Amino acid sequence: MSAKIILVTGGNRGIGREICRQLAALGHTVLLGSRDLKKGEQVAAEMEGEVLPVKLEVAKEEDINNLATHIKDKFGKLDVLINNAGILVGQKGTVDVDIDEVKRIMEVNFYAPWRLSQAMIPLLKNSPDGRIVNMSSGMGEWDSLRLGNYAGYRLSKTSLNALTVQMASELSGTKVKVNAMCPGWVKTDMGGAGADRQVEEGADTATWLATADTIPSGKFFRDRKEISW
Ligand SMILES: NC(=O)c1ccc[n+]([C@@H]2O[C@H](COP(=O)([O-])OP(=O)(O)OC[C@H]3O[C@@H](n4cnc5c(N)ncnc54)[C@H](OP(=O)(O)O)[C@@H]3O)[C@@H](O)[C@H]2O)c1
């Protein structure tokens, strides 16, 4: 397996941090995205392997464009984009939720991965095996919407899943593959202490989608297995 150039957003803590650690340990070059570069530098310094901290506030178009230019100049290509950064705010359902709050969630969980993908696709096309991994959630699965609550978060992930399907289809004539995944319920700042998984387990499917010899495109995974939308 040859070393890949892999960008992970929200790499400074939680699942993203563990994805960076796993990929670097496998010998890949990891660009650890962090909106606070100092935090990214601290975390990267603690990891084994080639982990390069990069400044990336995913909701900031300027950061995305600067990073795309930096990657182009330094590597000429990107092999994998892992859209991991995300926020979970509020628990209200569609009837009561503040739409401005929904917009803030959509900006980070949906528009940012979309913008980043658009910016990186030319670089991913320069790779012999370009991949996009969208960190979604079972909370965005179609059937789980019937449970109500968490409207902003759920619908941001349902939208991300829909984006995955359409983008994968549009890129089917290229070498770039696009998939979504759910990490399960993971002990992080977002998942809380009551979650039933450690970060190692939550990060595993992302590491697999980034590095497996062959993967399909336009699918949704948990525990390396396809799940329904
Ligand atoms: N934990 C779970 O049980 C669970 C379950 C299903 C799906 N997920 C998904 O997995 C992903 C990671 O979750 P997590 O549990 O690791 O969350 P977390 O511990 O809260 O970490 C979130 C990461 O995203 C970054 N981030 C948030 N907003 C950002 C922005 N605007 N620009 C750049 N980075 C930003 C954070 O950076 P800062 O440190 O700067 O805030 C942090 O690095 C998310 O997409 C989440 O929706 C998690």
Distance CA 143, CA 228 (A): 9
CB-CB contact of 168 with 216 (8 Å): no
The reported pLDDT for the residue numbered 2 is 84
SS3 210: helix
Catalytic residue among 110, 111, 150, 153: 153
DSSP 175: S
The average pLDDT across 71-94 equals 98
**pLDDT tens digits, 5-64:** 999 999 999 999 999 999 999 999 999 999 999 999 999 999 999 999 999 999 999 999
CA of 9 to the centre of ligand 1 (A): 9
CATH of residue 116's domain is: 3.40.50.720
Q: Compute the average pLDDT of residues 135-154.
A: 97
Q: How many domains does the chain have?
A: 1
Q: What is the 3-state secondary structure (H, E, C) of 21-75?
A: HHHHHCCCEEEEEECCHHHHHHHHHCCCCCEEEEECCCCCHHHHHHHHHHHHHHC
Q: What is the mean pLDDT of the chain?
A: 98
DSSP 18: H
Q: Could you tell me where the beta strands, DSSP code E, fall in the chain?
A: 5-8, 29-34, 51-55, 80-83, 131-135, 177-181, 220-222, 225-226
Kindly tell me if the per-residue pLDDT of 94 is higher than 70.
yes
Q: Is 150 a catalytic residue?
A: no
Closest ligand 1 atom to the C-alpha of 35? 33
- What is the atom index within ligand 1 of the atom nearest the CA of 139? 6
Compute the distance from residue 32 Cα to the ligand 1 centre, in Å. 13
Residues contacting 75, CB < 8 A, separation 6+: 5, 29, 123
CB-based pocket (< 6 A), ligand 1: 9-10, 12-16, 35-36, 56-59, 84-87, 108, 135, 137, 182-183, 185-186, 188-191, 195
Q: In the chain, how many H helices and how many E strands?
A: 7, 8
User: Residue 135 sits in which domain range?
Assistant: 5-226
Query: What is the value of pTM for the model shown?
Result: 0.99
Residue 1's pLDDT is 62
